[in-house]
Each structure stands twice: as C-alpha cells, then as structure tokens.
Structure 1
Amino acid sequence: MERWVVADARTYDLHVEACAFLAGLRSKGRSPNTERVYAGRLALYLNYCTQRRIEWSRPSFMALSGLQQWLITTPLPARSRRSPTTAAPRYRSQGMANAVSLSFNLGPGLCRLARSRASGRVSRMIGRLYTVVIDCPDPDELAGFYEKLLSLSRKADTGDFVVLQNEAGAPVVAFQRVDDFRAPQWTDSARPQQMHMDVMVADLDTAEAQVLALGATLLDGSDKPIGYRVYEDPVGHPFCLITPEGA
C-alpha cells in the first residue's frame, strides 16, 4: 500500500481538507495528471504554504508571489540514499514550476511574474499594480454592474469601498464612494475620468523615498504607519502606495 504525506505531523490536520480540495479540482477537469503526480504537486504547494504561514485554502496573490521562485531555487531531494553527498544539487525546471502553479489554478500571471524575477528584469521594481480604483456615488450599485459585465465576485465590501476579484482571487477593480460625485463627460477636459491606481509595496517608507525621487508628490498619509499613502505623479494624476495590511 502506498501512503502519501502531504504535510508534516504538525499540520496533519490539513489532510482531510487537502484531499477534498484535490478531489474538487479534479472533478472540475482542471488536472489531466495522474493521482500520484497531482498528489506530489499538492504536497509541494502545502509545504510552501506551511513554511510561509500562508492560509493554503485562501491564498492571496501577494502571499503566493514567491511560490515559483521557491520551487526553482529549492534543491530537489537526492535520487536515492546511495547518491554521493558531494553530488551537485538538482533543481526543478521553470516548466515544472509552472505546472505546479497551474495545477492549482494560480494562473499564468504568477508564472510570468516569477520568470521576470528570476531573470532580474524587475530588480528595480518599486511595487506592483494591485488594482484600479474608480470613484462613484454608490460603490455597491456600480460594483454590481461590473460583477456581471466581467464575471467577477466580491473580495471586500465595506459599504464605501468594494473590491472585485477574478476566479483566482486576485483583485481586478475597486469602487470608492465620493461625496458630490460629478460624472465624467467624454472628451470634456473640465470633467475628466475619475480613477486611480493602487500600487502594492512591501514597505511604505522605502517605496515613498523611491517614488519621490522619481518626481511624485506626497498628498496624504505620511502619518499612517501601515495601510496606504496618497501621491500624485509628475503631472498630477493621483495614485496610492498600499501594503498587504491596507489592502
């Protein structure tokens, strides 16, 4: 009889839920792999979540942004106990890392982000686009329109601020209540479009210094230790730097 261990003894309570999660994905036709291969990928995913203290059943995009890097930089176990200890370590290929991510519907966006990080193309990146925020008089009503238009669901709803997410749980667009809202008029510069970008960063103080050096101006939020701060770009468009705590 084969026995598969998907987590260590301290997290064995995940076993039942993990099996249900696996069965649910396979029933939807998302995995053409054999049960043995798929169980191995599930084990990798759960081990990563355990090490990073991530809620595996509801991971955020931010929490999983390092998954593929972890997969391709963590050495593979020795082929056998007889393998020489001096042998060069083996690593997973990028293709295998992509396969693990896609098995759990983490999406190609995460794969592209990891490939960019591995190649060093985003080494100077200050943050990443988290969502686009649209001003409106009634967030609930406008969010309902875009839920149906884009086949999205609600990730967060405070009454004055609604965030819509895609099937992978990543935020796509948000709506914020604005008093005395004046609807934009197409081609009328006196009544321009009202929206801004939220940029996710790891540390507000560090990111602030970088965007100010690029020519941004702080508008509000320097007294907030966590959450978000508001800036304008060199020609006056507002944008926010936010942290996971403020999302």
Structure 2
Amino acid sequence: MRPPASILVVQHDDRLPPGLLGEWAPDRDVALHVVRADRGELAAVDPSRHDAAVVLGADASAADLHVPWVRQELAWLAAAAPRLPLLGIAYGSQALAVALGGRTRRAATPWITWGVGVTGADAPIPAGAWLCWQHELVVPPPGATIRARGLRGTLAYTHGRHLGVQFHPEVLPWMVDWWLHPEHGRPGAPGPRAGVLRALTRERAAASATAGRTLFDLLLARAGRGPAPRPLTPKEPHV
C-alpha cells in the first residue's frame, strides 16, 4: 500500500496556523508535518523526505535579511525548489519569490480585502472568494507567469511547479476573529472596518473553503499524488 503523501507546512506565528489545510489533509490521505521557521526548526528539514511544502503567512518581511530565520528560510527555499513543489501563501509567496530571484516591496497602506481576479482562461487556480491581508507587495521572479492581479499588483504567480498566492486560501472565520483582536491581533488590523470584515468572512467562508481545497488539490497533483482538479467557475468579482 502506498504511504500517505507527506506535505511539509512551514509556520511562522501562532496566529497564522495551517487552518483549512488541517481539515483538507485527512480527506486526501495526506500527512502534514508542521515546523516553525521562526524557532529555527526549518534548517534541519530534508526536503527530499516530503512530497510538497506549504509556506504560510507571517508579519515579517521577506526582504529583512537582518532577521536570522528569514535569511535561513530563503536559503532553504532556494535549495528545496528543484526538489519538490512549493506553495507560498501571503508572506510565503513573497519569500518564495525572493528565493527564486524576485523581490518584495512595502505597500503604502495595508492591503486587507476580499476578492480576486484571475488572469486568462488557463489559470490553474480557482477564482474563488479569497482574503488578502498584506503589508508587502510581491514582484515575481524571472520566468514566472502571473496568474491573478489585484488593484495593487500581483496576487498569484506560478514558476515551474511552484505557486505563490498573496491571498489566504487556508483562512477560517475563527482565524480572522483572532487577527482582528484589538490587543493580540495582527498589525494593521482595520479597527473601524472590523465588523464589516467579520461579516464578509462569514458570508464567503463556504466559497473560500471550496476554492481553498481545490487549490490544495492542485499542489497535490503537482507533487504527483493526485488528479489535477478542475478549475472552479468565477463567483466573486475582482476587488
């Protein structure tokens, strides 16, 4: 019997856990292995022991090489890229881009909104309801294909087997509540708009989860461990 697929999940913050990934994995016979890059755990991980890797969000900047764990993570991603498919989420998409020769730049104001537009009929990602929560904008690496754009630039790109998304396919409503906490939430949380964001999150939670599962299926297919999913029909307007 073939063993379960193994996906490494690189986490950086208690407030940014695997979320929906943890619900999706058992349904696909996938074993998740979570490591904390911010605690120095990633350096000892052998990428060849996994079928794919997901790099989650963070409130750090992938351009801040003065942070030891950021520098170590970029080196690990550059070494792992030829060996397994990588999915970078939010900060993870920025770190993946930098590791592959792209860059990131600071946004003038936090980019916190729902919605996405997908570029081209052959875009490999579902045009679902996606939450963006960003302080950094990504410039994809040379050779990348931009798959989705927003008003502030690139929202998703592919580079070979790798995929970077500026939105949060793993998000669940309770995570947004945590991020909006007035004392312990994420930097830049939109205080005056918190109620609106909570309401939109609950309204779009089902569509977001469906699209997120399809996106994770795509990663599994790129790892050679599952059939390629059919893209979903766009339901949400470009925001």
Give the TM-score normalised by structure 2: 0.27
* Greater RCO structure (CA 8 Å; 6+ sep): 2
Greater gyration radius:
1
Give the TM-score normalised by structure 1: 0.26
